[in-house]
Amino acid sequence: MNFPFALVAVLLLGPWTGLLATEASARKPNVILLLLDDAGWTDTGGFGGRMQTPTFDRLGTEGMRFSDCHAAAPNCSPSRAGILTGRNPTRVGIYSYLPENHPMHLRAEEITVAELARGAGYRTGHFGKWHVSDLDNKTQPGPLEQGFDYSLATSNNAAPSHRDPVNFVRNGKPVGKIEGYSCQIVVDEALAWLEGIGASGKKAAPFLACLWFHEPHTPIASPPELVAAYQDRYPGISPREATYLANVENVDRAVGRLLAQLDQGGLADDTVIWFTSDNGPVSASSRGELRGLKSNVWEGGHRVPGIIRWPGRVAAGSHCDVPVSGIDFFPTFCALAGIELPRDRVIDGVSLLPLWLGQPATFRRDTPLYWNFYRLTPSLAIREGDWALVARTDDAERPKAHQLLREDMPYMRTAKPNQFELYNLRQDPGQTRDLSSEHPDRLEQLKQRLLKLHREIMEEGVAWDIPADYLSDAPRRVWD
């Protein structure tokens, strides 16, 4: 049985996955997830950006590039929850970013990909931004309680910036100031961990490593020599943009060191690398022709770069235009590792192995991709094939605070979608032409699917008990 055929069989035969994976390969593949923070669809050279990213471009040349890749949500914390659980973030109760001293978090009741990986014999490490719980709140599970053996993490962004951050926590203990840039610190820690677990050894256990970079989320700090190089390369460029381009390049250089170590240790051929971003950008210069930015359910809010490299399995230089999402990471990892999906809960993502292995005819997604961000309008969207439906609700009571407040919970549960727009993204990726009147049957079909799915997901979502006076004395930030 050759390996690609075995993986397709894993996909089709469900309960026999473990047996087939064992028969097909004595060693399950290592998996590395590289996650940028707030990087837009065009924020690498290979996807049309002006930044120098030879490492990310190399991944695309040696693997598969996804031109229709999406974050699980258009906002940070929900997107990460979707990656970890394979479930729609609204379903698990992560509705927005996690502010300080807030009860919302990824609950221990959820099953994470790291927990399943560890149960299947994987060593598991998390490095970088966490942001699905407050690491200072011991009542909320952190990386070690959610399946990771080892972690160097921050609750939210690197502080005071990417340079010399002071807020990293290693395995539950604050470490204070670390000199250097966040992305390089994250890679340093991951490399030390790989060496510590003997990842290159012939009898080493496979590993799952999540490198969740803080870049290019603000507050940005970039090496001055890289900033100066962009100012020389693009005369007239603003210091802010030069710093942004340099910021992404700095991550690219850090990842280059990681790839070099994989090559040196003989691990490259046995390692799947998945590269993407947690949501869309805050700058229009990073979204290409798409409509919307971070937190929008328009395409610009959640379409992100996506690359898979798996030497010898995924065809080098290949391309996929099938819509995929961050929620697909969980079920795809399970298929890779021969792990049966949990049967006691809804898993919204699907395995992408058929697409990776050049078998798109066997790929199937029964549930439309779905995005929900309650505080903006439009607030809902689903995607089915080339078609996207976006929906608005009555804006009279729409929350205006940047944080999730007590009064927002009943609004989210009662707000009804009542205005709909239909777009064909293959013909109109910028979502400039509403086709509702031209395709009433398609509109009605997707409308009913959205209403049903939204109702089901909201019924499962957690109702957080947020203190009535939460941030009552703080100014509320409008985020429209």
Catalytic residue list = 76, 131
Place of tokens 């064992």: 22
Q: What are the start-end ranges of the E strands in 15-138?
A: 30-36, 64-66, 69-70, 123-129
67-105 residues labelled b (16+ CB within 10 A) or e (exposed): ebbbbbbbbbbbbbbbbbbbbbbbbbbbbbbbbeebbbb
3-state secondary structure of 382: strand
Question: Can you give the length of the chain in residues?
Answer: 480
DSSP 45: G
Place of tokens 């400039």: 432
At 316, the amino acid letter reads: A
Residue 210 phi, psi (nearest 5): -105, 110
Alpha helices, DSSP H only, in 234-323?
Answer: 239-264, 299-302
Residue 211 phi, psi (nearest 5): -105, 100
DSSP 265: T
Measured distance CA(244)–CA(289) in Å, rounded: 19
